[in-house]
Structure 1
Amino acid sequence: MKAIKLKSQANVFVCQNKIQAMEAITEVGNAQREITRLETQINDITARAIEARKDRIDELRTGIETLSHGVQSWCEVNRDLLCKKGKTVNLTTGEVSWRVRPPKVNLRGVDKLLEMLKGDRKLKKFVRVKEEINKDAILADPKAVKDVKGISISSGVEDFVIKPFEVETGE
């Protein structure tokens, strides 16, 4: 069960005693479990809907792929005739176009590549060194940065958490 963290705000409902607080926590737990039940029902409905239509979707995708290959084959054969004014052709019911993808770098064995590039003075320029502020070091020595503008350390922030008790049973 999820614990609820509340930010301080003007509340409409305020418990007047311990019994009301206990009853409210029970209601919170009941509402959380009802949400879980509803989400599970929604997921079950979605899964059944997908399963019921899966074969038809697969048929349609296969058909689209077959038709697309046929259109592409015809267009490739007739490309010179079709592309007199650019790379896009209007065929009344739709357009076809040829686009060159921008260059893309693919890497395999990144650790070995980094080691090799760092070891070669001419290739070292292809290694990016990222500088960032070490927040762990600041937390370890907050007095050293107390007068630095732009650095503030927040501490002592308190969250109020309600966690209703639950019994979990094995399946």
Structure 2
Amino acid sequence: MAKKSRLKTPAVTVAVPQTREKAAEAIAEIGRANRELARLEADMNDELAQVKERHETAAEPLRQKLQALTQGVQTWAEANRDTLTQNNKVKTASLTTGEIVWRLRPPSVRITGADAVLDALRRLGLKRFIRTKEEVNKDAILNEQEAVAHVPGISISQGEDFVVVPFEAELAEVA
């Protein structure tokens, strides 16, 4: 005989307003809680900003020192590159305290004025460098839902959100 499995879920203990007035009170409490949460977040961000500024200030001299030392080592290494790389046979030079490495980055393409570049490629007959992208037009499907109702792979869904918006006033700026 198979053992029966039981699913246990914790009981939901939610205060459900029973009247319009109680619902209004609950919305007011939601507004108070939201404002308190915003105050806590603002206080946290103020403290984080102070901590970050303190550490950034302490780190700046170290960054400048690292940059100066690195530039000095690079200048020396470039002057002695043939010796260090065995006439460009290797790209890494080992020293007693670390390594000096020369690495080529992969090539990259940068386009400025994409429309002009596309026109030039078309005029020169270099269409193989132009990408044509086909994709489903979802906006058109939403406009004509009946036309695609029987197409497999297309489903149209719509959800509903429940939102509570407590009334709040904002402080006016004084000029």
TM-score by length of 1: 0.82
Give 1:9-158 correspondences, 5 Å limit: 11-18=12-19, 19-84=21-86, 86-121=90-125, 123-155=126-158, 157-158=159-160
Q: Would you say the 8 A contact 2:118–2:130 is kept in 1?
A: yes
RMSD: 2.1
Structure 2, unmatched stretches of 5+, are: 1-10
Q: Post-superposition shift, 1:112?
A: 1.1
Which residue of structure 1 lines up, in the alignment, with residue 170 of structure 2? 168
SS of 2:100's partner is strand
Structure 1: unaligned runs, 5 residues or longer: 1-9
User: Offset at 1:168?
Assistant: 0.8
Q: Distance in 2 between matches of 1:94 and 1:170?
A: 60
Residue number among 158, 161, 169 corresponding to 1:159 in the alignment? 161
Give the equivalent residue in structure 2 for 1:7. Answer: none
Per the TM alignment, residue 48 of structure 1 is displaced from its structure 2 partner at its CA by 2.1
Structure 1 distance, partners of 2:162, 2:124, is 55
Paired amino acid for 1:139: L
Instruction: Pick closer, same or farther for the CA change 1:31–1:42 going to 2, 3 Å.
Output: same
- Return the structure number with greater relative CO, CA threshold 8 A, min gap 6: 1
- Structure showing greater radius of gyration is 2
The superposition leaves residues 19-49 of structure 1 with CA deviations (integer Å, 9 ceiling, x where unpaired) of 3322322222222112211221122122223
SS at match of 2:90: coil
| Aligned counterparts of 2:18 and 2:50: Cα–Cα separation in 1 | 47
Per the TM alignment, residue 11 of structure 1 is displaced from its structure 2 partner at its CA by 4.8
Q: Deviations over 1:133-155 (max 9, x none)?
A: 01111111111111111001113
